[in-house]
Structure 1
């Protein structure tokens, strides 16, 4: 019988000792990302607009299977569109955890639906301000506060709507296309010490996306090769991978998490 010798190997997906900031994390995809990062050992700051919902989300994270130590979860309420709120979230993360090695720009809005020729331009401006400009604002602050000197990983939440036209959520899609280009540009400018990637989900079962499958989940899911809609956890696992050393030679990439939808030539 052969002897089996146990060996200790590095765990490149382990995030112990790192601090992360996840925006828009009171529910849905952002909340799942925060939970996944916690499960891999990171300390996590979560942000969102509504203090009560954010506090409840923080309690859920602490009570969850990866929570445990209350000292690894920090909630900082604030609107991502506010420069002062962004500054507070970054400053308090570094002050509390002593670092900021992971930034996840998850916040996104979509108050415009239908033909762009009829779109309210104020709504379009708001979409770009929150989905693109605010994301860049967080990157700038994280760079100045920690990453510029120490390095890190940034993951932006884009969308398949940024890769292919939808006909109905055009302003949102255009903003996510801009975020994808921003990801590539930042990856070039901030390497080699800071990696910048994006993920592009299709329809994920969240409150934010309810209108996209309101006519019937099974009917919408039938168009996907995987025959189901995405879950927040599907996205969270890929984000955590991109934030980890396991993705150490990946930067400037946008990973589709779409159940095969774009492979069919369609967009659900």
Structure 2
């Protein structure tokens, strides 16, 4: 079995389940040492145990700078490098119309979805990538490329993350590549309440006729993290089974209601 990331080390934030866990598993299967973070040490360790022998779980809330720095330092101490960073941690407490949100929900959404990728990117660049190079992959959303009801603040945060991806790609080139994935409707626990009762309708609006699985996104993260994408930077790869092109406004409206 090919191991394109053998000898490399990756950090995946928000990796206790769903897309983050799938991405960590894909990187591990490709030969990488993988550090999985979660809000609690217990959740991070359990996730790492499920991934494999070269996985390490570390409790580190995405926006806690001290814990993030300690995580990066521990990663370098344990494995000798940080070659890949997957900024996957995300949140959406601001459900409903944009003008109905308070500052607290706005700030939490932007802190986790936008500031945390900036924070973690700076830390890994300072600790390793600035001198040795590497790859950063941000988890955005098709919501950052479209509009729809109820998730406006979330969509704004992901649109900003897509723009940040381009900005960092320019600033960190040529030794560090920065790209993003934009998932559509993916079968995750976080999104279960939004698709479980109308899965048939979701499938009907998806040209590839199924809801996405976390592994679909994990495979895309691996591609962007590896040398297979060595001449790609500043790009956002949509992984949605064709949902954005499938049914026009109807597909966009449905995608706006579902967290990948």
The TM-score with structure 1 as length reference comes to 0.90
1:147-169 Cα distance to aligned partner (Å, 9 max, x none): 00000000000000000002111
Q: Residues of 2 paired with 1:208 and 1:177: CA distance?
A: 20
2:214 paired with 1:237:
no
DSSP-derived class of the 1:213 partner:
helix
- TM-align CA RMSD: 1.1
Deviations 1:24-58 (A, max 9, x none): 00111100111000110000000000222222111
- SS of 2:149's equivalent in the other structure is coil
Q: In the alignment, what sits opposite 1:57?
A: 47
Task: Indicate yes or no: 2:237 matched with 1:247.
Answer: no
The alignment covers a number of residue pairs equal to 249
Secondary structure at the residue paired with 2:148?
coil
TM superposition shift of 1:121: 1.9
Q: Hey, what's the Cα distance between the residues in 2 that align with 1:191 and 1:33?
A: 24
* CA distance in structure 2 between the partners assigned to 1:18 and 1:53 by the alignment: 24
The answer on whether the counterparts of 1:203 and 1:212 sit within 8 Å (CA) in structure 2 is no
Alignment of 1:119-134 (within 5 A): 119-134=101-116
Whole-angstrom CA distance in 1 between matches of 2:196 and 2:101: 22
Residue 183 (structure 1) aligned to one of 142, 145, 165: 165
Match of 2:30 among 32, 36, 40: 40
Rg larger in 1 or in 2?
1
The aligned counterpart of 2:118 is 136
Q: Is the 8 A contact 2:110 2:157 kept in 1?
A: yes
What TM-score, normalized by structure 2, do the two folds share? 0.93
Structure 2, unaligned runs of 5 or more = 256-260
Q: Is the 8 A contact 2:45 2:56 kept in 1?
A: no
Between Structure 1 and Structure 2, the one with more helix by share is: 2
Q: Which residue of 1 aligns with 2:174?
A: 192
Please, which runs of 5 or more residues in structure 1 have no aligned partner? Answer: 1-10, 63-69
Among candidates 120, 138, 141, match of residue 159 of structure 1:
141
2:9 to 13, 19, 25: 19
